Amino acid sequence: MPPAPPSYCQACKKKADPNENFPKCNKCSSATYCSKECQRAHWDIHKPICTPRSQGKFWGIRIMSNRGAPEGQSPADYFRHEAVPATHGIFREGESCPVTRHIGIPLIIYRDTDRRTPGANEIAVKLRINATDGFAPTSWQLGPGECIVVREDRKPLTMQLLEAIYRFNRHLMSYPIVDEGWASWHGLLNPSVWQYYAMQYYEKQSAQKRPGFNYFFPPVDS
Ligand SMILES: [Zn+2]
Ligand SMILES: [Zn+2]
């Protein structure tokens, strides 16, 4: 087995010494901190993904109707954290987001027909694109309305991570895909390319002081 990755503080990025482990969040055990101060400082960001205390619920993100977060708007403006019960339709009828399977963070997406909110959801459509031709199925292109997304592995999903995945998918669109002679971007769909893109994306947002991007979130493993 490969050695466990070093423990690091999710607030200040400090790495633990080998053989030392930083204490974990008592509630969810998914976040580690070097100190109580760091834990307190990070609570606003961590709170939405701290696993709910009630059993049988998972954190998902609802994507409100949108037209693709144009310039000056953050995709996260359309995101809402939501505790999704294990009995929810997403776990039976949700569809896999094909690109996310290739990059190592498989997501399931579900059109929330219960709420009957037809309308454009560009962010959801881009998340649902096929890994082969970059198009979403026709039924999606007609306007899926509000959607819910969860991680297939049931790990907590942050708005920052979902935003970076959406941007990555959209970024793929800037590659030529139909013109003769161009290599398909299918070869870009692997965890290494994604990680590199996400790292740079996080750093760029962090430089703009956007909250939640100011610490390194290992894009694949967390
Ligand atoms: Zn710290
Ligand atoms: Zn927690």
Tally of domains within the chain:
2
Higher pLDDT, 49 or 149: 149
Residue 216 lies in a domain: no
Q: What is the mean pLDDT of residues 208-221?
A: 69
Q: Name the closest ligand to CA 29.
A: 2
Ligand nearest to the CA of 28: 2
Q: Are residues 27 and 101 both part of a single domain?
A: no
Same domain, 25 and 100: no
Q: What pLDDT, on a 0 to 100 scale, did the predictor assign at position 21?
A: 84
41 and 70 part of one domain: no
For residue 45, which ligand has an atom nearest its CA? 2
CA of 196 from ligand 2 middle (Å) equals: 26
Question: What does the chain look like in DSSP terms, one character per residue?
Answer: -PPPPPPB-TTT-PBPPTT--PPBPTTTS--B-SSHHHHHHHHHHHGGGSPPSSTTEEEEEEE-SBS---TT--GGGGEEEEEEETTSTHHHH-EE-HHHHHHT--EEEEE-GGG---B-BHHHHHHT--TTTSPPPHHHHT-B-SEEEEETT-----HHHHHHHHHHHHHHTTS--SSTTPPPGGGG-SHHHHHHHHHHHHHHHHHTT-TT-SS---TTT-
173 pLDDT exceeds 70?
yes
Same domain, 119 and 38: no
Is the pLDDT at 221 greater than 80? The verdict is no
Ligand number, closest to the Cα atom of 31? 2
How much is the pLDDT for 222? 46
pTM of the model: 0.81
User: Based on the domain organization, do 152 and 58 belong to the same domain?
Assistant: yes
The answer on 68 and 40 residing in a single domain is no
User: How far away, in angstroms, is 188 Cα from ligand 2 center?
Assistant: 33
- Residue 102 within any structural domain of the chain: yes
Domain that holds residue 162: 54-176+183-207
- Mean pLDDT is lowest, of 27-36, 59-68, 86-95, 120-129, for 27-36
Distance 11 CA to ligand 1 centre (A): 5
Instruction: Using the mean position of ligand 1's atoms as its centre, give its distance from the Cα of residue 197 in Å.
Output: 25
Better-scored residue on pLDDT, 152 or 28: 152
Instruction: Identify whether residues 62 and 45 lie together within a single domain.
Output: no
- Claim to verify: residue 43 and residue 87 sit in the same structural domain: no
